[in-house]
Structure 1
Amino acid sequence: MRKRSSVDLVHEFWAQVWQPPQNYDAIDDLAVEDFVLITGGTRIESREAFKQWAREFGSKIDDMDFEVVESFENHDGSRVASMWRITGRNNGVFGTEPSGEPIEMTGTAVWAVGEDGRLLSNRVERNAYEVFRKLTEGK
């Protein structure tokens, strides 16, 4: 049996957790217990805290569609970089009023992958400021 690549692991995460229907419990199988997410300069520590963060974030975007734009891994598979795009409707993302307005967000995630084929950490950068400004212009 062929060992899956680290890119395959990350794509499985995207498919299970962010593409509808979202399955946040898949994080239990894909990530280590002491998983770390760094997003917007905030550090979320533990798999359970990450699941809570994912559920909350997901609840703020109705009709979310997640698209993988491009992914690649380093020479030994210990790191994966993935560019992505989310579309949907605003249900209070970034503390805005739930308006149902269409949103589009792009970002990059850099993942650390363990030798056991599980996710160790993720550092995310996204165009949150631009999305926030678009949702709050003239209000």
Structure 2
Amino acid sequence: MSNPTSVEIVEAFWDAVWNAHDPDAIDRFVVDDFVITSGGEDVVSKESFKEWVRNFLEKINDLNLEVIESFQNEDGSRVASRWRITGRNNGVLGTAADQRPIAFTGTAVWAVREDGKLLHNWVERASWELFQRLTGE
């Protein structure tokens, strides 16, 4: 059996953590000093990242992450993806938890270590557009 590509590792992470709603699955994929940079803010350490994911999952019921496309650089040290999240609003972006269907897109760039462990994730999402749809502004 061949080693998984970096894209396969990232997509397995998304399925195990986001689509299965299991923040503890993070332990299998990331290094202890993992960093996610979201909206220009760093969340540092595997444990802090797990808490960040738990908080995010609380705000979107029935969250589903659909990969639109992913690709990696030649040596597999970087993966870039476009994705779409759907679910029901449970208070995302400080809005009322009205359970309305929501959808938004985003991009992610991952740093992947040679052994397949995830080192860093830079993520941007269409939060402003989602907020406008939820608040009618």
**What TM-score range do you get, normalising by the shorter chain?**
over 0.9
Q: In 2, Cα distance between the equivalents of 1:4 and 1:102?
A: 34
Kindly indicate whether residue 97 of structure 2 is the aligned counterpart of residue 98 of structure 1. Answer: yes
Q: In 2, Cα distance between the equivalents of 1:57 and 1:124?
A: 14
Please list every run of 5 or more consecutive structure 2 residues that lacks an aligned counterpart in the other structure.
none
Find the counterpart in structure 2 of residue 35 from structure 1.
Answer: 34
CA offset digits 1:85-132 (Å, max 9, x no partner):
011110000111111111101000000000111000100011001101
Find the counterpart in structure 2 of residue 78 from structure 1.
Answer: 77
Q: In 1, Cα distance between the equivalents of 2:94 and 2:40?
A: 17
TM-score under structure 2 normalisation?
A: 0.97
Identity of aligned residues (%): 55
Q: Which amino acid in structure 2 is aligned with residue 50 of structure 1?
A: F
Find the counterpart in structure 1 of residue 124 from structure 2.
Answer: 125
Q: Which amino acid in structure 2 is aligned with residue 73 of structure 1?
A: Q
Q: Which amino acid in structure 1 is aligned with residue 60 of structure 2?
A: I
TM-score under structure 1 normalisation?
A: 0.95
Q: Which amino acid in structure 1 is aligned with residue 17 of structure 2?
A: V
Find the counterpart in structure 2 of residue 16 from structure 1.
Answer: 16
Q: In 2, Cα distance between the equivalents of 1:43 and 1:82?
A: 19
Q: In 2, Cα distance between the equivalents of 1:63 and 1:113?
A: 28
Please list every run of 5 or more consecutive structure 1 residues that lacks an aligned counterpart in the other structure.
none
Q: Give the total of aligned pairs.
A: 137
Q: Which amino acid in structure 1 is aligned with residue 121 of structure 2?
A: N
